[in-house]
Amino acid sequence: MKPVGLTTTIPSEILFAAGITPVDLNNLFITDAKRTEFIEEAEVTGFPRTTCAWIKGIYSACLHGNITKVVAVTQGDCSNTHVLMEIYRMRGVETIPFNFPFGRDRESMVRSLQLLAEALGADLERAEEWRLRLNKIRRKLDMVDLLTWKEGKVTGAENHLFLVSSSDFEGDPDRFEEKVDRFIGEAENRTPSQTAVRLGLIGIPPITEGLFEYIESSGARCVYNEVARQFTMPFGGESLVDQYLRYTYPYDIGPRIDDIRAEIQRRNIHGIVHYVQSFCHRQMEDLIFREKLDTPILTIEADAPRVIDARTKIRLEAFIKMIRQRKGAEI
Amino acid sequence: MSQTMTLGVDAGSRDVKLAIGRGGEIIFSAVVDTVRFYLTCRNGGKELLLNRLPQMESAPDYSRIVATGYGRNNIALTGGEVIPEIMAHATGAVAQTGLGNFTLVDLGGQDTKVIQVINAEVDDFVMNDKCAAGSGRYLENIAAALGTSLDKLGECWENPVRLSNTCAIFGESEVVGLISDGAPVESILAGANFSVVARLKPMIMRYRPKVIVATGGVARNQAIRRLLEQETGVEVIQPKEPQLNGAIGCVAS
């Protein structure tokens, strides 16, 4: 199967149906030992320093990974991707746009899926079969999530890694499913964590290394990874159209807030950590979350893939202590 | 509050603040340049020897150490406790002012913190983004670029020139440009103070403050205090020892 890059989560069922191996360029970038060099390389090419590091990272990761075709999300993610597409083309990488229609309009979504299928030479009926196949794995990821917040047997970092991998199923759904099965089997036998302070992480997947580990070492646990969980399509659906209209991340913020509120209740979350990426338009969403959510919120920001810095540590430490003081005997 | 004689250490980015006392009562204090502090106290190993500091010669005995600030985890002092900065500053301001409900603005060397204190506990807090713009370091650089002192800077709040840049580095070149255009030094200094307050204002106003307590080295700047009152419309209280507030919070915690 030939690899095709993705700039964010898209209907991977269509790629599998076309006999294509999806490669989430974000995962390719962030797991590469040269991730810092990738950013430097993009800056040397001419990407401004004040551009999101994910954009610069996936630019270089694509070229280094010899990915010659990319599906780029041009509506519902990030406008930087538009220019990234132009630059990819200039470098000889074929690009295919994909839109999540802003108004969640059903007909537009049908059209978006058709266009993608046509561009990749996929049959949509076959893609629906793949939906059923991948759903089996997605629901196993629900189990990983349940083992995190309900059973206390999976760490925030493990939860993040497994859930975020559902953007491309690591390119091989069968192998990934086996990995998930093995993990669940192992995790079920663990002793539940006794950590009292329960945090939820909202916002795009963090670029910072050691964030979850630091939270755990400070006496708290991350029991909710909002966007990573959304990558697993937790609300399912009867068709690809349904499934990708229920996905919260690429549309207006209302359903995201409803989702976050419901999970705060269900998972008994004491505080929200809102991760924002430097130079990302989504930083502005912080003010909406602060107005709409009643739970204490800590906003942390990072620019590049580096180990968690002293400033972020100080904030997390104080936030966790503040929650503990406030909750007192309750926790 | 602990009734044990305690040494509070606030290891900041520019200065290390030391205070010794019991509960809210402080009987000794010192401020040591951060670089000098580590150069003097490092013992080759991890341990820091505070008695090497000339400032500590007259210090009274203490039996407990509580540290905070950026360097807090480097303060490898035997039996030392470590507390988060936010908690230290809130506790210090409560101990110094006797107030329970206020918005604390801590203006440090590279860092600005706004802490909402309700019933003498931290309710929420926000810190400046990853940049020294509008911090103490910015003001130091502006004063140095104009060849003036921080005391003089602290007197200038009238007729501020609008500065577009609060960047600790680029601010300097803007100031040089203004001088060459003939702007009065006092107005430029007032402009620098004003730009710090303008940067602080959104952080403070989100808490709809009723009383502001200003601490940190920069809070000694009276122009900042006046401009803060003018821009927020709220009374700004300055505790007796604004710069030592974090260290006092360590003692009182």
Question: In a structure prediction context, what are the per-residue pLDDT tens digits for chain B, which is 253 residues long?
Answer: 567 899 999 988 889 999 999 987 899 999 999 999 988 988 777 677 888 889 888 899 999 999 998 766 666 565 678 898 999 999 999 999 999 999 999 998 778 899 999 999 999 999 876 666 667 888 888 898 899 999 999 999 999 988 876 666 667 778 888 888 899 999 999 999 998 898 889 899 999 999 999 999 888 899 999 999 999 999 999 999 999 999 999 999 9
ipTM for the predicted complex comes to: 0.73
Q: How confident is the model at residue A327 (pLDDT cuts 50, 70, 90)?
A: confident
pLDDT given at position B79: 65
At position A173, the amino acid (one-letter code) is P
Rg (CA), chain A: 19
* Segment (H or E) for B25: strand B25-33
- Cβ A317–B122 below 8 Å, yes or no? no
Do residues B16 and B9 make contact, with C-beta atoms less than 8 angstroms apart?
Answer: yes
- Per residue in A3-36, pLDDT (tens digit) is 999 999 999 999 999 999 999 999 999 999 999 9
d(CA B93, CA B96): 5
Of B111, B121, B125, the CB nearest to A318: B125
Cα–Cα distance between B1 and B95 in angstroms, integer? 9
Nearest CA in chain B to A325: B121
Residues of chain A contacting residue B84, judged by C-beta atoms under 8 Å apart: 314, 317-318, 321
Using a CB-CB cut-off of 8 Å, the residues of chain A touching B122 are 318, 321-322, 325
The span from the CA of A232 to the CA of B177, in Å, is 55
Interface residue ranges in chain B relative to chain A, Cβ cutoff 8 Å: 70, 84-87, 111, 121-127, 129-130, 206
In the prediction, which pLDDT does A95 show?
97
- Predicted structure pTM score: 0.86
Residue A235, Cβ neighbours under 10 Å: how many? 14
CB contact under 8 A, B70 and A322: no
The values of phi and psi at residue B161, to 5°, are -80, 140
- The DSSP symbol for B69 reads S
* Alpha-carbon distance values, A88 to A6, A38, A181 (Å): 12, 15, 37
Selected for mutation to probe chain A from B74, B110, B128, B130 (highest A CB count within 10 Å) is B130
Query: What is residue A174's predicted lDDT score, i.e. its pLDDT?
Result: 98
Partner-chain residue, chosen from B84, B121, B206, that has the shortest CB–CB distance to A317: B84
A275/A287 Cα distance (integer angstroms): 13
Per DSSP, chain B holds a count of helices (H) and strands (E) of 8, 10
Which residues face B106 on adjacent strands? Answer: B113, B215
- Which residues of chain A lie closer than 8 angstroms to B70, CB-CB? 310, 314
pLDDT digits 0-9 by tens, A223-256: 999 999 999 999 999 999 999 999 999 999 999 9
Helix A53-64 to helix A35-45 angle, to the nearest 10 degrees? 100
**Rounded to whole angstroms, how far apart are CA atoms A54 and B139?**
34
To the nearest whole Å, the CA of B152 is away from the closest chain A CA by 31
Option in A301, A319, A321 nearest B129 (CB): A301
Q: Output the six-digit token pair for A234.
A: 């937790």
| B127: nearest CB among A309, A315, A317 | A315
Q: What's the DSSP call for residue A248?
A: -
Chain A contacts of B123, Cβ < 8 Å?
322, 326
Which CATH number applies to B6-95+245-252: 3.40.50.720, 3.30.70.3400, 3.30.420.40, 3.30.70.360?
Answer: 3.30.420.40
Who among A290, A318, A326 is closest to B84 (CB)? A318
Q: Which alpha helices (DSSP H) does chain B contain, by range?
A: 34-41, 85-97, 136-145, 150-153, 170-180, 185-205, 222-232, 245-252
Given a cut of 80, whether residue A330 has pLDDT beyond it is no
At residue B244, the pLDDT reads: 95
A310 to chain B: nearest residue by CA?
A: B70
Is a pLDDT exceeding 90 seen at residue A1? Answer: no
Whether residue A312 has pLDDT greater than 70: yes
Q: Give the residue, A200 or B172, on which the prediction is more confident.
A: A200
The nearest CA of chain A is from the CA of B87 a distance in Å of 7
pLDDT of residue A214 exceeding 80, the answer is yes
> A318 — contact with chain B (CB < 8 Å)?
yes
- Helix (H), strand (E) at residue B20: strand B15-22
Rounded to an integer, what distance in angstroms lies between the CA atom of residue A78 and that of residue A60?
A: 18
Q: How far is B146 from A210, CA to CA, in rounded Å?
A: 43
Q: Which residues of B touch A315 (CB under 8 A)?
A: 86, 127
Q: Domains of chain A by range and CATH? A: 2-124 (3.40.50.11890)
What confidence score (pLDDT) does residue B38 get?
86
Which chain B positions have a beta carbon within 8 Å of A326's beta carbon? 121, 123
pLDDT at A213 over 60: yes
> Under an 8 A CB cutoff, do A301 and B125 touch?
no
Residue of chain A minimizing CA distance to B110:
A311
